[in-house]
């Protein structure tokens, strides 16, 4: 995101985020929309934060589709959500939250298209992909201490050693965006994001 914001790709025009995580359905409280927001609230927050940061704007309108493909009776909401966002600076974004993949598969993808180039990054957790004549083989998944780094950063910020990377304004903007996405999902229409 820093490369895109630094101007390496010119003005960002569009951004696409894909978030897939089996943990979104593991403990019962994460499956309960009343307690966690369900998969959309639990991991959609990351996707909406990243799209906002990558595009350097605030969402003004969303349109979303969602389905519960794999977790009927376990999740009383959507296990897959695709949201399209229009931003105040004219850019477009999309976030796909996916919990229907039960095999090892990439956790996170980000693609930003700018006026002068593209930025693509991922967090696949795979050290090696082996390609053969009839298949591709992924090495075993490796897990990174993401939460530990978040905790370490928070402690340093509370000690005054670092500035907070995520602010209350960020949290508010994402919460309002998720509310608009949920309204769009149930109303089946575009919804303005009220910030």
Model pLDDT, residue 99 = 83
Residue 156 structural domain: 2-192
pLDDT digits (tens, 9 = 90+) for 124-174: 655 445 445 566 565 555 555 666 787 888 899 999 999 988 889 999 999
Name the burial class of residue 99, with classes exposed (0-12), middle (13-18) and buried (19+) by CB atoms within 10 angstroms of its CB: buried
Express each pLDDT in 59-78 by its tens digit: 999 999 999 887 777 777 78
Count of domains observed in the chain: 1
Q: In the predicted model, what is the mean pLDDT of residues 89-99? A: 95
Spatial separation of the C-alpha atoms in residues 79 and 100, rounded to whole Å: 6
38 closest CA partner among 164, 186, 160: 186
User: How far, in Å, are 20, 107, 179 from residue 66 at the CA level?
Assistant: 15, 19, 14
DSSP letters spanning 125-169: --S-EEE-SS-EEEPPP----HHHHHHHHHHHHHTTSS--SS-HH
For residue 61, what is the domain's CATH number?
A: 3.30.360.10
Q: Pick the more confident residue, 191 or 167.
A: 191
Residue whose token pair is 């960020």: 170
pTM of the complete model: 0.80
Q: Percentage of the chain surpassing pLDDT 70? A: 80
């Amino acid at each position: 995101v820093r490369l895109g914001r630094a101007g390496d790709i010119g003005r960002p025009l569009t951004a696409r985020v894909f978030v897939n995580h089996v943990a979104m359905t593991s403990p019962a409280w994460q499956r309960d929309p009343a307690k966690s927001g369900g998969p959309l609230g639990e991991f959609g927050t990351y996707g909406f934060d990243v799209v906002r940061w990558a595009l350097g704007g605030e969402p003004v309108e969303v349109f979303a589709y969602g389905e519960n493909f794999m977790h009927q009776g376990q999740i009383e909401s959507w296990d897959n959500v695709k949201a399209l966002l229009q931003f105040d600076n004219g850019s477009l974004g999309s976030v796909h939250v996916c919990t229907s993949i039960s095999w090892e598969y990439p956790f996170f993808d980000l693609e930003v298209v700018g006026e002068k180039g593209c930025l693509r990054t991922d967090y696949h957790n795979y050290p090696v992909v082996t390609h053969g004549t009839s298949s591709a083989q992924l090495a075993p998944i490796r897990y990174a201490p993401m939460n530990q780094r978040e905790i370490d950063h928070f402690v340093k910020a509370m000690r005054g050693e670092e500035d907070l990377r995520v602010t209350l304004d960020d949290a508010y903007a994402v919460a309002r965006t998720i509310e608009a996405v949920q309204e769009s999902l149930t109303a089946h229409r575009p919804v303005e994001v009220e910030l």
